[in-house]
Structure 1
Amino acid sequence: MRIFENLESEVRGYIRSFPTIFEKSKGAILTDEQGEEFIDFFAGAGTLNYGHNNEHVQEALMEYLKKDGVVHGLDMATTAKKEFIQTFDELILKPRNLEYKLQFTGPTGANVVETALKLARLIKGRSNIVAFTNGYHGLSQGALAVTGNNEYRDESYISRCNATFMPYDGYFGEVNTLEYFRKFLEDGSSGVDLPAAVILETIQGEGGINVVSKEWLQELETICKEFDILLIVDDIQVGNGRTGEFFSFEFAGINPDMVTLSKSIGGGLPMALLLFRPELDQWKQGEHTGTFRGNNLAFVASKVCLENYWQSDDLSNAVFYKEKILKEKLQEIAKKYEDEYTIDVRGRGLAYGFEVKEDKSIASEISEYAFKENLICETCGSQNQVVKFLPPLTISEDLLNEGLQRFENAVDKLFKDKKEKLTQEF
């Protein structure tokens, strides 16, 4: 690991949580240079919903490259782009009665968030954007301005202009936070300018697996329509089937004005996509560009994933089935220690969190112990106080159960060590 310490920037992060050199990957397994296999409950922070080195993606990419398929084409028309757009429309949009135009932005989540904010301001002629407590939307300046996570905000580089934060669902417990939001909008002297848009995640991944309710989401859509505000759903981490349905907002029956997609939409390759209602397409030609706006290899990968996993409800049903296994096992572990700790298990689909309320440092310790059990799971939340579970959607039931057993072993060993240490101190 010394070469990374000597030559790579101090900004590196995940390498510190998982200090080994990974050489190979397949499905839900990462293998390091020593041949040690690790079960991956992180999946590239939600980028690998279809697993590492998905066999369908591998075959499609190799065939495409052998035929000298276009790799880079700016926003020119290519066969790969045409086939992706057709497949996305036929398998994702039409079955859900969604009518959206597609805009290909730079290949990251932050790129597509920046695009959505810019377009919303252009359309409405207003600069304010409302975001929510603990939300995460990216680390470029515009996206960072609407990111609430304190770990990434610093006065030396953050832009605090044109963004207002409101409390997310559940932020004040049982209080309906949208009544608070509505009051600000109704009062012309509240100091909150009428926003061009509201942006939110239906499950705050980096924010701590905070899950929005159906009723809250429906009410937010109503407020946005009433006050002529665009509703942007950031589905970068929890879209693409993570909740069981392709879009994380489907369960609420809403129709956002814009949807941001990245991470798993590229089938494991860099790609970002903005969806918006056709009447919002008010760009001038070339008004928002980017050298890598449209990764042809990602088009190929995404198309084959859509064809293999979204022709039927099989993947969705599998996610709902595996959610039950994940949720019940985490609740079982929590119940085992209920006399000593208050543990909250929450989530939807295959995005779950495990939080020990009494000690915010325990999540990081659990992650460390899990790594010793050859399990990859990260932390999230305002103080990294939540263990986050994002296994590939395609993980087998046996491997999911094995990973959960390793997680339980890690929790048991950590709590045992803590108890022994406490006994020795007294």
Structure 2
Amino acid sequence: MTIAPPALSVFETLESEVRSYCRSWPAVFDRAQGSRLYDEDGHAYLDFFSGAGALNYGHNSPVLKRALIDYIERDGITHGLDMGTTAKRAFLETFQNVILRPRDLPYKVMFPGPTGTNAVEAALKLARKVKGRESIVSFTNAFHGMSLGSLAVTGNAFKRAGAGIPLVHGTPMPFDNYLDGQTPDFLWFERLLDDQGSGLNKPAAVIVETVQGEGGINVARPEWLRALSELCERQDMLLIVDDIQMGCGRTGAFFSFEESGITPDIVTLSKSIGGYGMPMSLCLFRPELDVWEPGEHNGTFRGNNPAFVTAAAALEAYWADGQTEKQTLARGEQVEAALRAICLEHAQLGASYRGRGLVWGMEFEDPEQATKVCRRAFEHGLLLETSGPRSEVVKLLPALTTTPEELDEGLRILARSVRETA
């Protein structure tokens, strides 16, 4: 399929130069259903991007759409701040019964605002308030958001530079396998904590992604996460797991940390928690950490009631019977087998792959290769993005509802795109 880029338009003449995804995918999209998007000229695209993880259940899921339409048609509350509403109550009860209680998770729920970075900012603020300390430890190649607090614990130099001011009160430590196994896990970190002359201020908390999505699909081992949890407990630091992109089933289980058996002190969720792509985020924390004064942290759009409706519907439809996790793991095996074959075929490119569930990355020795592959895949009707500090990783993020046939189709396009750009 040959795609002609759209003519110079209001996007170029009026919209800011900050836009990015539209430069990789020069099309004007009009509608979407399931794992397919369609541009205004009727061309179909298979979506292995899923709204950067905000569309785990695909585009316009009929079940979620029906719930949303019914709610709007009966004039349900749209904007509610933190007022009590029937939609919020239904979501909280469903979240408790379907997600928290079966996993024996004791969390209180906070609605900090509509975006992931809102949830991270709330988590950092709460950790500092509880511990009375400023410093937060993050990890190399982490990504936690674009507002200043979240950016201070983000690793990417390009994104950090956009702040325009010093980003303080954050200290990076090596992520799992950052040093290629040359030193024991957390040797440097704990030595600094124990040494009164190290210059490291006692941290209030550690924030971590179990799989670094924007950082290049770097997967933390369960034993590494358990050791981190134990370190935090020993050193009186709170453990924050940022599950904004990897939660809501992306790695198989609803929470990405379940495999490791840890229980973080604070968890952030966003993206697919709204189910339908509706803006929504949560900050979850142990009850004893709920030291907020009423109104001490707020936000105009922290009560997106249509998102509560689709979120509750998604939990009922996809998480009540345990089948989504099994299906995701099976689909992940399908992706892994295809990536293994591609890497074997193109050993001369130094290609390698890694991932969990339905988040996978394929890395090349030549960083430009990943961009070339994604560009060619778009020409063949497949949406893929790159990740990693040098955009050296092709990132696969298909919807959890993608069929085996659609996965096979997309993986064949990926293999063809690698072959044609090798």
TM-score (norm 2): 0.97
SS at the partner of 1:347? strand
RMSD of aligned residue pairs (Cα, Å): 0.9
Q: Which of 296, 303, 310 matches 1:294?
A: 303
Q: Which of 321, 335, 342 matches 1:333?
A: 342
Kindly state the Cα deviation for residue 178 of structure 1 after the two structures are TM-superposed: 1.1
Letter of the structure 2 residue corresponding to residue 145 of structure 1 = A
For the Cα contact (< 8 Å) 1:144–1:158, is it kept in 2? Answer: no
1:385-419 CA distances to partner (integer Å, 9 max, x unpaired)?
0000000000011011001111111111111xxxx
Supply the distance in 2 between the matched residues of 1:99 and 1:81 (Cα, whole angstroms).
19
SS at the partner of 2:161? coil
Match of 1:211 in 2: 219
Q: Number of paired residues?
A: 413
| Shift in alpha-carbon separation, 1:4–1:155, aligned structure 2, 3 A | closer
Supply the distance in 2 between the matched residues of 1:58 and 1:385 (Cα, whole angstroms).
37
For the Cα contact (< 8 Å) 1:106–1:291, is it kept in 2? Answer: yes
Match of 2:388 in 1: 381
Supply the distance in 2 between the matched residues of 1:155 and 1:16 (Cα, whole angstroms).
19
More deviation, 199-208/172-181? 172-181
Letter of the structure 1 residue corresponding to residue 232 of structure 2 = C
Supply the distance in 2 between the matched residues of 1:198 and 1:140 (Cα, whole angstroms).
18
Match of 1:72 in 2: 79
For the Cα contact (< 8 Å) 2:151–2:167, is it kept in 1? Answer: no
Letter of the structure 1 residue corresponding to residue 115 of structure 2 = T
Supply the distance in 2 between the matched residues of 1:331 and 1:294 (Cα, whole angstroms).
44
Match of 1:408 in 2: 415
SS at the partner of 1:195? coil
Confirm whether residue 49 of structure 1 aligns to residue 56 of structure 2.
yes
| Mapping 1:17-416, distance limit 5 Å | 17-154=24-161, 157-174=164-181, 175-267=183-275, 268-338=277-347, 340-357=348-365, 359-415=366-422
Supply the distance in 2 between the matched residues of 1:360 and 1:301 (Cα, whole angstroms).
39
1:357-381 CA distances to partner (integer Å, 9 max, x unpaired)?
2x01110111000001100000000
More deviation, 153-162/34-43? 153-162
For the Cα contact (< 8 Å) 2:142–2:212, is it kept in 1? Answer: yes
Confirm whether residue 12 of structure 1 aligns to residue 19 of structure 2.
yes
For the Cα contact (< 8 Å) 1:50–1:392, is it kept in 2? Answer: yes
Supply the distance in 2 between the matched residues of 1:159 and 1:200 (Cα, whole angstroms).
22
Supply the distance in 2 between the matched residues of 1:291 and 1:337 (Cα, whole angstroms).
51
Supply the distance in 1 between the matched residues of 2:376 and 2:45 (Cα, whole angstroms).
13
Supply the distance in 1 between the matched residues of 2:101 and 2:206 (Cα, whole angstroms).
25
Give the gaps of 5 or more residues in structure 2: 1-5
Kindly state the Cα deviation for residue 158 of structure 1 after the two structures are TM-superposed: 4.0
Supply the distance in 1 between the matched residues of 2:175 and 2:401 (Cα, whole angstroms).
31
For the Cα contact (< 8 Å) 2:362–2:395, is it kept in 1? Answer: yes
Kindly state the Cα deviation for residue 341 of structure 1 after the two structures are TM-superposed: 2.0
Supply the distance in 2 between the matched residues of 1:22 and 1:182 (Cα, whole angstroms).
50
Supply the distance in 2 between the matched residues of 1:84 and 1:377 (Cα, whole angstroms).
32
SS at the partner of 1:260? strand
Supply the distance in 2 between the matched residues of 1:42 and 1:404 (Cα, whole angstroms).
13
For the Cα contact (< 8 Å) 2:248–2:272, is it kept in 1? Answer: yes
Supply the distance in 2 between the matched residues of 1:223 and 1:355 (Cα, whole angstroms).
31
Letter of the structure 2 residue corresponding to residue 272 of structure 1 = S
For the Cα contact (< 8 Å) 2:55–2:272, is it kept in 1? Answer: yes
TM-score (norm 1): 0.96
Deviant stretches of 4+, over 3 Å: none
